[in-house]
Amino acid sequence: MADSLDTHQAQGSARPADDPEQAPDFSGWTCPAPLRDNQRVVMGHGGGGVLSAELVEHLFAPAFGSEVLAELGDSATVTLGGARLAFSTDSFVVRPLFFPGGSIGDLAVNGTVNDLAMVGARPAYLSCGFILEEGVELSVVGRVAEALGAAAKEAGVTVATGDTKVVDAGHGDGIFINTAGIGLIPEGVDIRPQRAAPGDVVIASGAIGVHGVAIMSVREGLEFGVEIESDTAALSGLVESMLGATRDLHVLRDPTRGGVATTLNEIASASGVGIRVNERNLPVPDAVANACAFLGLDPLYVANEGKLIAFVPPEHADAVLAAMRAHPHGKEAVAIGTCTTEHPGMVVADTGLGGSRVVDVPLGEQLPRIC
């Protein structure tokens, strides 16, 4: 067959070829967007910062025409057959596939489970799509699948449906995974980025910056004295405990790509409140602080995969904090700031030295492909 194809290829027509850059002529296509000057995708478009947001706001949302998508939360909230459901998806392209404290299989479960939990849903079912690169060892695929299965069991979710595609060697990177998840939102729960209100107490569930530094250390072959393990974990149990203290949680968010700084900015912007953070209260472990100092990173911008930020009405803050501290994933929960009517849409940090600084949204990302 190869022979006859080769013969015929010599007579090949001028049809659109395989290279996307040689696809039908789109030179007249104008992006309904600022999207800056670049005409091509850069790594920062996947970084969870300003570039990512612009891509969604100016390219995907208009193309899809979706009001639901335009809300930009971690999960969509949809109603189907009378049930109020959370629905979310994430793709995982982390390098390396295995790192201290976890693997792409753990992230693929916990990332989507946490997105569902961040609207208060009880995660129930996951879908799972593998894109494998030709030539990757089956033993590696097997270990990743086992890690994924174990993480699903730990999180109490069922992998209900799946798909596998294979791409030619040199057109993938070992294993990419997409998961989507659905979960049921309990009655009376209304958690979304628009609900932060002046006076709300901002709570972090534990140490920040750990996942990003763990990935960075292993990828670059760095050692920081102690091994830093990823914090990847399913937070649905923690959220259930918090909902036991009050159903009136205003906002929950897991600060993954772009870190706590990006999360706080998105919420300040969505709710139209100002957020004031006390830097001295930020739970940054010494090892993370040292690694960040060494690498020139700010822990506020480093990704987390097993932590959440909660916005809680002041009258419930103590009860929620107590509930969190009683849960294994919230033992080190701490109030890190408050919402204010001042500087709406902005995040300001009181520094340890008595001054204050604006905490901005990153343009792209400090660390590519950390999830």
The answer to whether 354 contacts a second copy (rule: CB under 8 A) is no
The answer to whether 136 contacts a second copy (rule: CB under 8 A) is yes
The answer to whether 335 contacts a second copy (rule: CB under 8 A) is no
Sign of CA dihedral 51, 93, 218, 174: negative
The answer to whether 247 contacts a second copy (rule: CB under 8 A) is no
Nearest distance, CB of residue 287 and a second copy, angstroms: 15
Nearest distance, CB of residue 353 and a second copy, angstroms: 25
Task: Estimate to the nearest angstrom the gap between the alpha carbon of 95 and the chain centroid.
Answer: 15
In the list 50, 107, 175, 361, the residue contacting a second copy (rule: CB under 8 A) is: 175
Give, in order, the Cα–Cα distances in Å from 17 to each of 1, 4, 5, 6, 341.
20, 19, 15, 16, 56
Work out the widest C-alpha separation in the chain, in whole angstroms: 77
The answer to whether 168 contacts a second copy (rule: CB under 8 A) is yes
Please give the Cα distance from 123 to 126 (Å, whole number).
8
Nearest distance, CB of residue 359 and a second copy, angstroms: 20
Please give the Cα distance from 198 to 342 (Å, whole number).
9
Which window, 81-89, 200-208, 338-346, 352-360, contacts a second copy (CB under 8 A)? 81-89
Nearest distance, CB of residue 74 and a second copy, angstroms: 8
In the list 50, 108, 110, 180, the residue contacting a second copy (rule: CB under 8 A) is: 180
Give, in order, the Cα–Cα distances in Å from 146 to each of 105, 150, 151.
8, 6, 8
Please give the Cα distance from 342 to 204 (Å, whole number).
22
Nearest distance, CB of residue 104 and a second copy, angstroms: 9
Nearest distance, CB of residue 103 and a second copy, angstroms: 9
Look at the block and give the residue holding tokens 């001028």. 14
Closer to a second copy by Cβ: residue 89 or 246: 89
∠ Cα 240 244 249 (to 5°): 80
Q: Which residues, in sequence order, are bridge partners of residue 203? A: 310, 335
In the list 50, 107, 117, 152, the residue contacting a second copy (rule: CB under 8 A) is: 152
Which window, 59-67, 242-250, 258-266, 328-336, contacts a second copy (CB under 8 A)? 59-67
Please give the Cα distance from 302 to 217 (Å, whole number).
13
Task: Estimate to the nearest angstrom the gap between the alpha carbon of 251 and the chain centroid.
Answer: 15
The answer to whether 189 contacts a second copy (rule: CB under 8 A) is no
Give, in order, the Cα–Cα distances in Å from 86 to each of 114, 301, 357.
11, 27, 36
The answer to whether 57 contacts a second copy (rule: CB under 8 A) is no
Which backbone phi and psi does 91 adopt, to 5 degrees?
A: -105, 150
Which window, 137-145, 199-207, 228-236, 328-336, contacts a second copy (CB under 8 A)? 137-145
Surface-to-core class of residue 61, CB atoms within 10 Å of its CB (0-12 exposed, 13-18 middle, 19+ buried): middle
Please give the Cα distance from 365 to 371 (Å, whole number).
12
Please name which of 306, 302, 297 lies closest in space to residue 330, comparing C-alpha atoms: 306
List the interface residues with a second copy, window 25-44 (CB under 8 A): 26-27, 29, 31, 35, 38-44
Q: Could you count the other beta carbons within 10 Å of the beta carbon of residue 157?
A: 24
Nearest distance, CB of residue 110 and a second copy, angstroms: 15
In the list 101, 102, 120, 172, the residue contacting a second copy (rule: CB under 8 A) is: 172
Closer to a second copy by Cβ: residue 44 or 306: 44
At 223, list the tokens.
Answer: 């050692």
In the list 50, 93, 108, 261, the residue contacting a second copy (rule: CB under 8 A) is: 93
List the interface residues with a second copy, window 204-243 (CB under 8 A): 217-223
Closer to a second copy by Cβ: residue 148 or 261: 148
List the interface residues with a second copy, window 286-305 (CB under 8 A): 294-296
Which window, 141-149, 237-245, 268-276, 318-326, contacts a second copy (CB under 8 A)? 141-149
Which window, 163-171, 237-245, 307-315, 325-333, contacts a second copy (CB under 8 A)? 163-171
The answer to whether 244 contacts a second copy (rule: CB under 8 A) is no
